[in-house]
Structure 1
Amino acid sequence: MKHARQQTFSVLNTHWKHRYCHGGALRKSSHGRCARPLSTKDPLHLVFKVNKAAVKNGLRHPRNFGLINILLKKYSRRFHVKVEQFSIQTDHIHLLLRGSRRSGLQSFFRVVAGQFAQVLTDTFSRKHEGVKVWKYRPFSRVVKGFQSYKIVRDYIQLNELEAAGRPYSKTRLRGLREAQLRELWI
């Protein structure tokens, strides 16, 4: 009896720019409607985007901030996912993580999104009526290569500094000199 071959990423009919991306606003276009690419060798950049109307006081509120930190630690240990870096903004969360198994990563995405939604809306015993908590499905991107990894790492660090009070600039990552990049990590 023959066994079916496992699908590879090359079989998927995806635009080359979005080959390693899934979710978020991509889901609205036909390019983002394929299987979520995951890798156990490369890090993942994950973004959860919240509807501002669904969450009181935003994600940076001390209560919400503390609960999100607790949930991240708890479920990263349970599903063997290493959270290398994270940044919690008022309306979204950036995570840079690595997983040892594909099933662990999928479970982590599912459970963390569900637990965040339940904690943020206090709906453990009753059904949530009103606006959806998540604006989009979680955006994920497999980060290929060291240069891409450095860019994502610096981007998440810059987001955290902006949440803490650094002024925002549209061209904040373009043309940063080495000294300015070192300044991010001080």
Structure 2
Amino acid sequence: MKQQTFLPLQIHWKYRYCHGGSLRNSAKGRGARPLSTKDPIHLVFKVNKVAVKSGLRHPRHFTLMNRVLKRYAAKFFVKIEQFSILKDHVHLLIRGGRRSRLLSFMRVVAGQFAQGLTDTPNVKNEGPRVWEQRPFSRVIKGYRPYRIVRDYIQLNECEVNGRPYSKNRLRGLSSEQLEELWA
């Protein structure tokens, strides 16, 4: 009989390319983070509302996040195809060359933003944690899921800039509404 600890972790097919976020609370999101050097990756950083009361759209936090993203994307050779900074989370659509650089990019962006936000670069922060959960990542396989994620990020950005929120969001958008979304 094989030992239970040496058996591979059985992951549901739906979560094969996902990691982090609320999946971490169950066995679905545990294991190695799936990353791809060929396919784009949808990355979500969710901030703790207690730690960041004014939200990420506050001018100071917004410019800090923009600066951190651009600086470390260039340093780790990560291409940011699209991003949207909302009040309590950030959506990124990225591509990278090496797995190690992608992991370093995620780690450093989260750490540098948290340090810049709490003004504690050399001292451990004693307050609440800045990030609510570990970053959620999903490898996008195929053009149709890529288009859906790209439109979703664009829709989030439009809603932040004044577009009214709709419950069905991307499911009920016609081709004219999608064109208006990108106009």
1:181 aligns with 2:178: yes
Query: Is the CA contact (8 Å cut-off) linking 1:45 and 1:97 kept in structure 2?
Result: yes
CA distance in 2, matches of 1:145, 1:42: 8
SS at match of 1:171: coil
Superposed counterparts of 1:4-15, under 5 Å:
13-15=10-12
Q: In the TM superposition, what are the counterparts of 1:39-54 in structure 2 within 5 Å?
A: 39-54=36-51
Aligned equivalents of 1:12, 1:150: Cα separation in 2: 31
Equivalent positions of 1:2-151 (< 5 A) are: 13-151=10-148
Moved >4 Å (runs of 4+): none
Q: Distance in 1 between matches of 2:94 and 2:120?
A: 28
Counting matched residue pairs gives 176
Between the aligned partners of 1:42 and 1:12, the Cα distance in structure 2 is 24
Residues 12 and 101 from structure 1, CA distance in 2 versus in 1: closer, same or farther, beyond 3 angstroms?
farther
Counting aligned pairs with the same residue, the percent is: 69
Note the alpha carbon deviations across 1:42-92, whole angstroms, 9 max, x for none: 000000000111014110011111111111111000000000000000100
Q: CA deviation at 1:144?
A: 0.5
Letter in 2 for 1:45: H
Cα distance in 2 between the residues matched to 1:12 and 1:125? 38
- State the Cα distance separating 1:12 from its structure 2 match: 5.3
Q: Structure 1 regions of 5+ residues with no counterpart?
A: 1-10
Q: Match of 1:4? A: none
TM-score between both structures, scaled by the size of structure 2: 0.93
Partners of 2:68 and 2:27 in 1: how far apart?
A: 33
8 Å contact from structure 1 (residues 55, 121) kept in 2: no
SS at match of 2:45: strand
Q: Distance in 1 between matches of 2:53 and 2:172?
A: 37
| Code of the aligned partner of 1:185 | W
Once residues 62 and 185 of structure 1 are traced to their aligned partners in structure 2, the CA distance between those partners, rounded to angstroms, is: 24
Q: What is the CA-CA distance between 1:127 and the residue it aligns to?
A: 2.3
Q: Which amino acid aligns with 1:73?
A: K
**1:125 to partner: Cα distance:** 3.5
Contact 1:162–1:168 (8 Å) recurs in 2: yes
Structure 2 counterpart of 1:98, one-letter code? R
Runs of 5+ consecutive residues of structure 2 not aligned to the other structure: 1-7
Equivalent position of 1:8 in the other structure: none
